[in-house]
Amino acid sequence: MRRIVQAAIGCAAIGAACLVPSSAATAKAGALSGTWASIDNDGSSQTLDITGSGQRSYAMFLTDDSATSACGWAAAKLVGSGTSEGDLLQMSGALVCLPGGNVLRGRIGLLFVYSPATDTLTDETGVTWHRS
């Protein structure tokens, strides 16, 4: 989960400039919808649920079994929305530490790159997400 906090800083710095036009991810409705899984750089398991019709807007729900720096190794969830532009998916949401439900102030941003060839998402820290 440390990468989520780092990602927030990176995306805040480049903002909308993160989005580059491309047609691959938006070519078919709901191309990014589904359940994705990954192993974070700290070794924890992560799940990302994405819902939407593929019309550039998605609802997103990310869980991390162990949010190292943000929640002191406790589990966490990031709930928010996503906007796609070509092969890029920008997520913005509120981070909640579990089980207490402590909400961290401010919104967290996270950027993913979709690869249609491998049907994977890769976040900006290099973690690859696979459909589960």
Query: What is the C-alpha to C-alpha distance for residues 87 and 85, in angstroms, rounded to an integer?
Result: 6
Cβ atoms of residues 50 and 57 within 8 Å: no
| pLDDT tens readout for residues 3-28 | 554 444 333 333 333 333 333 333 34
Give pLDDT, residue 11: 37
For residue 57, the enclosing domain spans 2-131
Query: What is the C-alpha to C-alpha distance for residues 63 and 82, in angstroms, rounded to an integer?
Result: 15
| pLDDT tens readout for residues 29-72 | 478 999 999 999 999 999 999 999 768 899 999 999 998 778 88
Overall number of domains in the chain:
1
At 71, which CATH number? 2.40.128
116, 10, 132, 57 alpha-carbon torsion, rounded to 10°:
-70
For residues 102-110, average pLDDT? 83
Judged by phi (left if over 0) then psi (alpha if -120 to 50, else beta), residue 52 lies in: left
Cβ atoms of residues 90 and 109 within 8 Å: yes
Cβ atoms of residues 108 and 4 within 8 Å: yes
pLDDT at 105 over 90: no
Query: What is the C-alpha to C-alpha distance for residues 108 and 99, in angstroms, rounded to an integer?
Result: 19
CA-based R_g, the chain, Å: 14
Q: What share of the chain in percent tops pLDDT 70? A: 77
